[in-house]
Amino acid sequence: MSGNENAEGLKRRHRGRSSESFLDKDKILASLSIKAGEVILDGGCGNGYMAKEFARLTGKTGKVYAVDVDAAAIDSLKSECEGTIIEPFAADITKETMLAAASIDLIYLCTVVHGFSETQMEGFLKEVKRLLKADARLAIVEIKKKESGFGPPLEKRFSPEELKRVISLPATRLADVGEMIYIQVFCKQGLVEMDSRFRGNDKGGVFGRSECMDSRLRGNDSQGHSSRPHRRMDSRFRGNGT
């Protein structure tokens, strides 16, 4: 499937059934620990229901970028958010955006990443690395890899462990935020601040070799992963569908 076809699929998803009714917003917000003045990127924002919650918490000194590939959804959100700290714009988060490097405190995506192709995931990780500040975090909300009566096919979903292997950042929080939905929070700081004895001669930046991770952050993972993000992809990207 081409990048354009995938983008069209994401547009249709936003114009269809929203995941909002399945989420516990209070649990999501509690997991994010948003502070006043933070700069937040809501990737795949849809109608902006979470962007508005983020704006309420970050306050007048903060900023919320609401990003979506669906230009029609963004145009509608622009009219709603005029004069607020929310800045909606149409963009593809799997490619480089107009935002400045090292400018974001929190990147948030809700039921978006399961729709990425392998190429899109690589582009997304690259842009996350570019945008996040040194002590920033990435939060991903996804549907559990169980029969749920809604959401994508099971082979398209990520378990928390699979998601950790794909994202390749230290996971700092995992919580249920709906009957069949979880949030996993990753922190860039955990990699940036690691002792040099774990980093060695790592050339890969914050997405470098997984051997660099302190075992406290990796748990009991003994599998080891390649230094290149696309080689850490869940098997469904390699066509095995397991």
pLDDT of residue 43: 98
pLDDT of residue 115: 96
Weakly modelled stretches of the chain, pLDDT under 50: 1-3, 5, 7, 9-16, 192-234, 236, 239-242
Q: What is the DSSP string of the chain?
A: --HHHHHHHHHHHHHS--SGGG--HHHHHHHHT--TT-EEEEET-TT-HHHHHHHHHH-TT-EEEEEES-HHHHHHHHHHHTTSSEEEEE--TTS--SSPTT-EEEEEEES-GGG--HHHHHHHHHHHHHHEEEEEEEEEEEE-SS--SSSS-GGG---HHHHHHHH-S-EEEEEEEETTEEEEEEESHHHHT--HHHHTT--SGGGS-GGGS-HHHHTT--S---SSGGGG--GGGGT---
pLDDT of residue 191: 53
Q: Which residues contact 52 (CB under 8 A, 6 or more apart)?
A: 81, 86
Residue 227 has which token pair? 């230094």
Residue 45 has which token pair? 């924002």
**Torsions phi, psi of 37, nearest 5?**
90, -5
pLDDT of residue 203: 43
pLDDT tens-digit readout, 197-224: 344 444 443 333 333 333 333 344 433 3
Q: Which residues contact 238 (CB under 8 A, 6 or more apart)?
A: none
pLDDT of residue 144: 97
pLDDT of residue 200: 47
Q: Are 85 and 63 in contact (CB under 8 A)?
A: yes
Give me the half-sphere count of Cα atoms (radius 13 Å) on the Cβ side of residue 175: 16
pLDDT of residue 20: 82
**Structural domains of the chain sorted by starting position, each given as residue range(s) with its CATH number in brackets:** 3-238 (3.40.50.150)
pLDDT tens-digit readout, 61-92: 999 999 999 999 999 999 999 999 999 999 99
Phi-psi category of 122—alpha, beta or left, where left has phi over 0 and alpha has psi -120 to 50?
alpha
pLDDT of residue 21: 85
Paired sense of beta strands 171-178 and 132-143, if any: unpaired
The DSSP bridge partners found for residue 173 are 185
The candidate with the shortest Cα–Cα distance to 157, out of 138, 133, 182, is: 182
